[in-house]
Structure 1
Amino acid sequence: MSVSGSAHRRSVAQEPVTSVLPGGDVPFDPTHEFDADEEVLAALGYKSEFKREFSLFTTFCVSFAVLGLLPSFASTLYYGMGYAGTAGMTWGWIVAMIGIQCVACSMAELCSSMPTSGGLYYASAVLAPPGWGPFAAWITGWSNWLAQVTAAPSVNYGISAMILAAASIQNPDYIPTNYQTFLLTVFIMIIHAVMSSLPTKWLAQINSGGSTFNFIALIVVIILIPAGTDRPERGLPRFAPSSEVWGTIYEGTAFPPGISVLMSFIGVIWTMSGYDSPFHLAEECSNANVASPRAIVLTSATGGLFGWFLQLVVAYTVVDIDTVLESDLGQPFAAYLMQCMPQKTVLAILSLTIIAGFSMGQGCMIAASRVTFAYARDDCFPGSRWWKQVNPTTLTPVNAVWFNCVIGILCLLLIFGGELAVGALFSIGAIAAFVAFTTPIFIRVFFVGNRFRAGPWNLGRYSIPIGTVASAFVILMVPILCFPSVRGADLTPDVMNWTALVYGGPMLIVTLWWFVSARKWFKGPKVNIDHMMLGQDANVLEGKAAGKERGEEGSEDAELPDVKRVASTDKVVQVGS
């Protein structure tokens, strides 16, 4: 991995991206001098609309808050522990993280080359073969949006379940109802929507505090569980033997042990799916084509390491997996804590987890609103003219925030369908995010190859191998994530895996929408140039020489043009000082 660049100011035409603005469509005041971030964004075809008040640290804070290791782990313990037991939580986590880290590094490389809030959607459009860009953007965009819009409701559902489980611990006679869970989750959603409508500077500060608390709470819990366990008082050793923890695969599915371990990866994938947030916040981050990719990799690496530590302490202290999964508390993490901790310690850990989860839901709401704004800017949604508006007071996409909030509340109606139905929110978050993350990586590896124009943060010669591993991991995991836990005669509607239907249904609809209608009017990201993704090679000017003269890393791509023009004019303008 390397960071390269020159000390002198460059023109827009010299930015390491695939295109620049033509002379007639330059969207800026000629008296205004572009800074480095504005030049990069202009080279991608966009006018800067947000204040750049996020730094590497504050971007990482939002991303780490979205990752939310502690509440994410607590919300998905049913899958990680329930499918493969402690083996899936220990060495299974390590195997999964190899693939996830490859995805994160490849995504970071794309982010450095194309630091726009459109993120993966924009990258798919740019990198796809001529004529296929709009379709690639359409599929990537909708899959990513499904992951983003279901993130906050799934997180907040998990937090609501923990709050009500804590109430049940305090008063064993109290049994939460679906109606109470729904109302509490909706209340949290509304609070997050109000908070996410604040100005960018306030959001950065709030998320810095929330992420700091998230990290501190994670460390406290990792230390508190092994230190405070009362297993010895219950006639058990303080920790389970390593041979049992690492070597025993719990028979939580009807599939062979190896498949069960792979199925348990849903917990890892959902927990680790927030590292794309810096990509979507790139237009609000200073030094975005370096800081944003660094935040992506830092989030994934930090989350993977500390998440594994959390998995270990739980795996070594759990008493009875069956009891955890079947507890009347309705929340496996709370049931696990009750097995090995005094009640006051249980409530303390749940309190830390709930507060951290609240911060996580807030981060999810922010990231989702930026994705919705970016896609609405390109008229992907019905009513896009409202969702793409930036509030003149807060300078944030407030309409997009509330649009997502309403959709999220509608998704929460799945609560009344039972535990497996609402569990589809977690499944969508895993599979939809993975498909969106890897589509542009797959295109970059197998269709663009060495012609890719890298940004200042790049993987160098390891780019193709790492991207290949990332693509292979996702191709393997997508069908695995759709497997039910039982099969044969035992497979009935109430125990089936609804992922294929809940994710595949909407994606089938948007695919049909594409072929019936959208292909006629949707042309991908709306930039102010005749973009490469449209395959309009007739509009490309002689640009090869400029890339060779620069001699910058990533500019060996002699076939990608540096400058484009509108067909009606031969004038080419370089923007900047």
Structure 2
Amino acid sequence: MSDISKTPDVYRDLNHDPVASERDIPTISDHSMDADELALVALGYKQEFKREFSLWTIFSLSFAVLGLLPSFASTMAYGMGYAGTAGMVWGWIIAMLFIQCVAAAIAELCSSMPTSGGLYYAAAVLAPPGYGPFAAWLTGWSNWIGQISAAPSVDYSLAAMILAAVSVNNPSYVPARYQTFLLTTLILIVHTAISTMPTRWIAKINSYGSVVNILALFITIAAIPIGTLNVPKFNPSSQVWGDIYNGAEFPDGVAVLMSFVGVIWTMSGYDSAFHLSEECSNANVASPRAITMTATIGGIIGWFLQLVVAYTVRDIPSIMASSIAQPWASYLLQVMPQKTAMTILALTIICGFSTGQGCMVAASRVSYAYARDDCFPFSRIWKQVNPYTKTPVNAVIANGVLGILMCLLIFGGSTAIAALFSICAIAQYIAFTIPIAIRVFFVGNRFRRGPWHLGPFSRPIGGIGVMFVLLMLPILCLPMDIGSDLTAQGMNWTCLVYGAPMLAITIWWVIDARKWFKGPKVNIEHELYTSSTELHLPKL
């Protein structure tokens, strides 16, 4: 059994576009291999999944995970609540420019190393000699925490919107916490069941979900200005672009940066295509294309949605203080007739279901990839691929159970459950940044690119993305209130909810894990990137 962590330098010997060379490919006599399998085998893994995702279907799942409409609805309290309309329109533009840099850098890594392990695998093989296992350990656990918290946070928001719809139609009804928890649990169970299906079925379901997401976005963007009851219909541009409703006790500039948490959380699903690359045909081109398509299209359409809301919203304080306790529903009722508002809310709920489903699938592939390398206790159970569905059913079920347990935070109140959103954002972007930073600042031009790459702009773009994430890390941990106004209820618990597990994981590494965890374990014998003899794979 070969160990990638022992030979990280081989990735830096050449700066060729081809993903593999002929000597990279071990001899497997039981069948002939196509280009995708050859590329995967060159990375050290045996093909175990069926490659039934195409560029469209893998983009569909990635876009479904992004879930612009339900994600915006779920995080409206951050964008609008921290910095008002100016923060929404300017904040989205600024944050998206930097997020595009992060997405492009990830796509480049994906083209070079299209494996389910994704960022974790890249961190292991690109790290300086001797540091590969530790880089993989931190990246893997941070990415895993972010992935498994995504579906619970989406499904909690979905449950809150459903119960908000009930409250609108029955004003005397006030959802109890246990009801929110039970509904969230039910949605998680349904998503878990769907995610155990064969890849072909999952691809079709998410393809339909993506179409619904896109249609719902355009319907919403068109319906709000048409159906608004406001007179005049639109706020003046000077107000939209210039007025900052500062919902935090920090200077306006910091409040705008704090509003980025909504953009970051919304735009943290584009890496799903990386984790599904072992199930995608023409993976070293299709998967990175899906990543950049998701980030770019999502960024543009998302900004138009921000503009529509910013130009039509009337009273931000009343939305934030509404008894419905769901800002998106409160906003819709403020500017539209109730029937129209409920129709848009229903579309958002349908899209939210698709988003949660995509998150569950992506998280299961991450859990499978890490269990394949024995990162978890009882990994032999979680890494099993079901012989009938050809999907990691055990990993899916484990993630579903963990998601239900995480939703127990609902009983701690709004502040506690809000930590799910922050932890998802911060965990994902730390995992994004580690391999990008290694590639930019340590590997440099020795990085062996895949057929999809950024050319001479690779290092500058990656460096900008890393700097943005480093700036945002402390911002994501700031509370709304400071000084004597800061209470336990108003505290931002992201540092604790994310920091405590990561501290424990680091201590585990120092005490024990470093003795046995050596990075990604490949399941075939191979020679990895040791020859300049080229194997011609699909090009852009």
- Both structures adopt the same fold (TM-score exceeding 0.5): yes
Equivalent positions of 1:152-301 (< 5 A) are 152-232=151-231, 237-301=232-296
2:77 is equivalent to residue 60 of structure 1: no
Supply the distance in 1 between the matched residues of 2:23 and 2:523 (Cα, whole angstroms).
6
Deviation at 1:20, TM superposition (A): 8.6
2:74 is equivalent to residue 79 of structure 1: no
Q: Is the contact between residue 254 and residue 487 of structure 1 (CA under 8 Å) also seen in structure 2?
A: yes
> For residues 530 and 183 of structure 1, do their structure 2 counterparts lie closer, same or farther at Cα, with a shift above 3 Å needed?
same
> For residues 348 and 429 of structure 1, do their structure 2 counterparts lie closer, same or farther at Cα, with a shift above 3 Å needed?
same
**Of 421, 424, 438, which residue of structure 1 is paired with 2:419?**
424
SS in structure 2 of the partner of residue 502 of structure 1: helix
Supply the distance in 2 between the matched residues of 1:19 and 1:173 (Cα, whole angstroms).
68
The Cα offsets for residues 330-378 of structure 1, whole Å up to 9 and x where unpaired, read as 1010011111000000110010000000000000000000000000001
Supply the distance in 2 between the matched residues of 1:552 and 1:501 (Cα, whole angstroms).
49
> For residues 18 and 135 of structure 1, do their structure 2 counterparts lie closer, same or farther at Cα, with a shift above 3 Å needed?
farther
* Unmatched segments (≥5 aa) in structure 2: 1-15
Residue in 1 that maps onto 2:496: 501
> For residues 551 and 188 of structure 1, do their structure 2 counterparts lie closer, same or farther at Cα, with a shift above 3 Å needed?
closer
The Cα offsets for residues 143-191 of structure 1, whole Å up to 9 and x where unpaired, read as 0001100000100000100000000110111111111100000000000
Residue in 2 that maps onto 1:519: 514
Deviation at 1:91, TM superposition (A): 1.2
The Cα offsets for residues 440-489 of structure 1, whole Å up to 9 and x where unpaired, read as 00000000000000000000000011011001000100111001111111
Residue in 2 that maps onto 1:326: 321
Supply the distance in 1 between the matched residues of 2:251 and 2:32 (Cα, whole angstroms).
63
Residue in 2 that maps onto 1:106: 105
2:45 is equivalent to residue 42 of structure 1: no
Q: Is the contact between residue 17 and residue 449 of structure 2 (CA under 8 Å) also seen in structure 1?
A: no
**Of 391, 397, 400, which residue of structure 1 is paired with 2:392?**
397
Residue in 1 that maps onto 2:96: 97
SS in structure 2 of the partner of residue 494 of structure 1: coil
2:456 is equivalent to residue 457 of structure 1: no
Supply the distance in 2 between the matched residues of 1:384 and 1:551 (Cα, whole angstroms).
34
Supply the distance in 1 between the matched residues of 2:77 and 2:153 (Cα, whole angstroms).
14
> For residues 501 and 20 of structure 1, do their structure 2 counterparts lie closer, same or farther at Cα, with a shift above 3 Å needed?
farther
> For residues 106 and 387 of structure 1, do their structure 2 counterparts lie closer, same or farther at Cα, with a shift above 3 Å needed?
same
Deviation at 1:21, TM superposition (A): 8.0
Q: Aligned letter for 1:37?
A: D
SS in structure 2 of the partner of residue 439 of structure 1: helix
Aligned CA RMSD, in angstroms, stands at 1.8
Supply the distance in 2 between the matched residues of 1:123 and 1:82 (Cα, whole angstroms).
37
Residue in 2 that maps onto 1:126: 125
**Of 322, 334, 343, which residue of structure 1 is paired with 2:338?**
343
Residue in 2 that maps onto 1:474: 469
2:435 is equivalent to residue 435 of structure 1: no
Supply the distance in 1 between the matched residues of 2:524 and 2:459 (Cα, whole angstroms).
29
Deviation at 1:17, TM superposition (A): 4.5
2:314 is equivalent to residue 315 of structure 1: no
2:443 is equivalent to residue 444 of structure 1: no
Q: Aligned letter for 1:187?
A: L
Supply the distance in 2 between the matched residues of 1:249 and 1:434 (Cα, whole angstroms).
27
Supply the distance in 1 between the matched residues of 2:115 and 2:347 (Cα, whole angstroms).
34
Q: Aligned letter for 1:307?
A: G
Residue in 1 that maps onto 2:487: 492
Q: Is the contact between residue 24 and residue 528 of structure 2 (CA under 8 Å) also seen in structure 1?
A: no
Residue in 2 that maps onto 1:138: 137
SS in structure 2 of the partner of residue 486 of structure 1: coil
Q: Aligned letter for 1:323?
A: S
Supply the distance in 2 between the matched residues of 1:517 and 1:18 (Cα, whole angstroms).
35
Supply the distance in 2 between the matched residues of 1:550 and 1:281 (Cα, whole angstroms).
26
| TM-score, with structure 2 as normaliser | 0.94
Q: Is the contact between residue 21 and residue 45 of structure 1 (CA under 8 Å) also seen in structure 2?
A: no
How many residue pairs align between the two structures? Answer: 522
Q: Is the contact between residue 53 and residue 285 of structure 1 (CA under 8 Å) also seen in structure 2?
A: yes
Supply the distance in 2 between the matched residues of 1:530 and 1:517 (Cα, whole angstroms).
27
SS in structure 2 of the partner of residue 261 of structure 1: helix
Q: Is the contact between residue 20 and residue 39 of structure 2 (CA under 8 Å) also seen in structure 1?
A: no
Q: Is the contact between residue 15 and residue 43 of structure 1 (CA under 8 Å) also seen in structure 2?
A: no
Q: Is the contact between residue 19 and residue 45 of structure 1 (CA under 8 Å) also seen in structure 2?
A: no
Residue in 2 that maps onto 1:115: 114
Aligned-residue sequence identity (percent) comes to 66
Supply the distance in 1 between the matched residues of 2:267 and 2:30 (Cα, whole angstroms).
45
Q: Is the contact between residue 437 and residue 462 of structure 2 (CA under 8 Å) also seen in structure 1?
A: yes
Q: Aligned letter for 1:468?
A: G
* Unmatched segments (≥5 aa) in structure 1: 1-13, 532-538, 554-577
The Cα offsets for residues 114-138 of structure 1, whole Å up to 9 and x where unpaired, read as 0000000000001000010000000
> For residues 380 and 470 of structure 1, do their structure 2 counterparts lie closer, same or farther at Cα, with a shift above 3 Å needed?
same
Q: Is the contact between residue 46 and residue 523 of structure 2 (CA under 8 Å) also seen in structure 1?
A: no
Q: Is the contact between residue 82 and residue 259 of structure 2 (CA under 8 Å) also seen in structure 1?
A: yes
Deviation at 1:16, TM superposition (A): 3.7
SS in structure 2 of the partner of residue 495 of structure 1: coil
Supply the distance in 2 between the matched residues of 1:491 and 1:171 (Cα, whole angstroms).
35
Supply the distance in 1 between the matched residues of 2:323 and 2:90 (Cα, whole angstroms).
30
Residue in 1 that maps onto 2:408: 413
Supply the distance in 2 between the matched residues of 1:341 and 1:15 (Cα, whole angstroms).
54
Larger relative contact order (C-alpha < 8 A, sep ≥ 6)? 2
Supply the distance in 2 between the matched residues of 1:426 and 1:100 (Cα, whole angstroms).
17
2:305 is equivalent to residue 306 of structure 1: no
Larger radius of gyration: 1
Supply the distance in 2 between the matched residues of 1:416 and 1:318 (Cα, whole angstroms).
31
Q: Is the contact between residue 18 and residue 453 of structure 1 (CA under 8 Å) also seen in structure 2?
A: no
Supply the distance in 1 between the matched residues of 2:535 and 2:348 (Cα, whole angstroms).
50
> For residues 358 and 252 of structure 1, do their structure 2 counterparts lie closer, same or farther at Cα, with a shift above 3 Å needed?
same
Deviation at 1:540, TM superposition (A): 9.2
Deviation at 1:552, TM superposition (A): 9.2
Supply the distance in 1 between the matched residues of 2:201 and 2:44 (Cα, whole angstroms).
28
Deviation at 1:278, TM superposition (A): 0.3
